[in-house]
Structure 1
């Protein structure tokens, strides 16, 4: 659905181009959440929004999306494995939020193609 598309490859490349952000000092989030927690929360929020917006999705489509999201989470956790347990900075949270929005956009496009 999305992980086999060039947009997903660009997204992974975007993350790897910004990996230095995860080695730099920054302002820690006030809530003390880790990079891993922020990643899970932001992607979950976007997928919930996606499914809420696309009421026309059938159960098999939703299941396909969940399987893809599991794969995406695995990929991102692999790339960020060395920093998942570190407290997130504001800058890292902003990047993760941007990536989560891009993931939602990939799914929005895939759903539009699917429903045509």
Structure 2
């Protein structure tokens, strides 16, 4: 659905190119780890997608959820050890932006799915 698209590969490359941002341990870390924030942000985006598309069938919603699970798995693989460190303000901003870009990919795929 999403994880096999070029746009997704580009986003993972974008994350990889910005990994240096996640090696910085700031003086004002958040309560949540980097991976927890990614999970929270992506969950919120998927809830928004499902809410915006009430015509999605149960099976289609499950497909979306399985895909987001695959995305989180990929993020954990790319982030490695830094996934469990407490996030800094800059990292929180990046995670929010990245999650929005992932939502855009899902928006397009859901739109295509409903045609």
Query: Which interval holds the TM-score relative to the shorter structure?
Result: over 0.9
Instruction: Summarize the alignment of residues 1-116 of structure 1 with structure 2, pairs less than 5 Å apart.
Output: 1-29=1-29, 31-116=30-115
In structure 2, runs of 5+ residues without a counterpart are none
Cα offset for 1:27?
4.7
Cα offset for 1:24?
2.0
Q: What is the alpha-carbon root mean square deviation over aligned residues?
A: 1.2
Cα offset for 1:20?
0.3
Local SS of the residue matching 1:56: coil
- Distance in 2, Cα, partners of 1:25 & 1:82: 13
- Distance in 2, Cα, partners of 1:75 & 1:115: 26
Deviation sequence 1:49-99 (CA, Å, 0-9, x none): 111111110011001011111110000011112112211001111111111
Q: Which aligned runs of 4 or more in structure 1 are off by greater than 4 angstroms?
A: none
In structure 1, runs of 5+ residues without a counterpart are none
- Distance in 2, Cα, partners of 1:27 & 1:92: 12
Cα offset for 1:28?
2.6
TM-score by length of 1: 0.93
* Aligned pairs, number: 115
More helix by share: 2
Decide whether the 8 Å contact of 1:27 with 1:91 is kept in 2: no
